[in-house]
Homo-oligomer: A and B are copies of this chain.
Amino acid sequence: MRMGILTGGGDCPGLNAVIRAVVKTAVHEYNDEVIGIRDGFSGLIENRVHDLDLDRASGILSRGGTILGSSNRDNPFEYGDKSTGAVRHIDVSDTVVENFHKNNLDCLIVIGGDGTLDIAHRLSAKGVNLVGIPKTIDNDLNSTEVTFGYDTAVGTVMDALDKIQTTAESHHRVMVVEVMGRDAGWIATASGIAGGAHIILIPEIPFHPEVIARKIYERKERGKHFTVIVVAEGATPLGGDRVIKRTVEEASESVRLGGIGEWVANQVEELTRVETRCTVLGHIQRGGSPSAFDRILATRYGAAAVVLAHEGKFDHMVSLQTPNIVAAPLTDALHQMKRVNVNGSHVITGKNIGISFGDK
């Protein structure tokens, strides 16, 4: 078999581990040939590809990023036509199909999130044999229990919280830490529990600023003159959507960084008069050497994808259903998001140990 592989969308620890596992399984187990496609679907549109043998896939297990490059603006169904000055979007999916065949590919392995897998599914409908591998550090993709990169991101946030805890305690401060999670609060919830946060704000649970202030007071009364708050970037105050959205957007015009974390910090300082600082962790959450958990999961995904390809299970993606990796239809992953269950084990554990989610 001759297979192509590409990585799409934002950065995520474990991409190289997947690529390595695909190549190793293809070569060692099936004597396949693998070619690497540059910069997501762009590489298939512009036919930028290269051989990907054991040597090139060697020594990359522990490295962040992707040796293939990625792209965020590579949708072949709405491709930005750079030849004309104007920003026009044209459908170049036929070129993708053409280049797939021109490179004598029997199968395409597509590593990406919601958007990338949606494109993959539409290419399947045009006759491209492909297998998907789900990717998101936010862990909000449906039909797999967990995605690689998430554990590493949670670890990165936890390390930051460990550092911030001692400063908060020594200097009697409220520290707000804004983390990734536009639509789902997985990173905030997990890292908040792991990092000893006292308050966790997530998109799934609208919060009252007054509830936060009360929690800070309660701690003060018990002699705890500091509080650590983890805020997912998609968290919103109850009923206050409009207000906060406006404030944040206005801020964003001048300074892109201003977000919900800063808004919460301002509210808290106003309500409690306690010195409050905000840190926005930003892009460090997407990078770095993957954790053991993520390297193993990524390796299992990569190896399983090649097996699926040989079984002819196209238009499917690999999916973790403990303890196995199984095949799930690509359509299952799309248009439905896995959000934090507000009555599930993580939130209940958090509430049991006294963490406030800002709801009451």
Contacts and interface: CB of A to CB of B under 8 A. Distances in A.
A166 interface: yes
Interface in A1-41: 7, 10-11, 15, 20-21, 24-25, 27-29, 39
A304 B28 CA distance: 45
A282 B280 contact: yes
A188 B183 CA distance: 34
Contacts of A160: 284
Interface in A56-70: 58-59, 61-66, 69-70
A139 B185 CA distance: 29
Contacts of A344: 323
A67 to B, nearest CB: 8
A114 B146 CA distance: 30
B64 A175 contact: no
B171 A11 contact: yes
Question: Range of interface residues on chain A?
Answer: 35 or more
B299 A164 contact: no
A222 B54 contact: yes
Contact of A284 (B163, B247, B250): B163
Nearest to A250: B254
Interface stretch (A123-131, A230-238, A286-294): A286-294
Contacts of A135: none
22 contacts: A11-B167, A11-B170, A11-B171, A21-B349, A28-B353, A59-B165, A59-B169, A61-B194, A66-B170, A70-B171, A145-B323, A162-B287, A165-B287, A194-B292, A255-B258, A256-B265, A280-B280, A293-B293, A299-B349, A304-B349, A306-B352, A325-B345
Shortest Cβ-Cβ A-B pairs, 6 listed: A65-B166, A255-B258, A163-B287, A64-B166, A65-B170, A28-B354
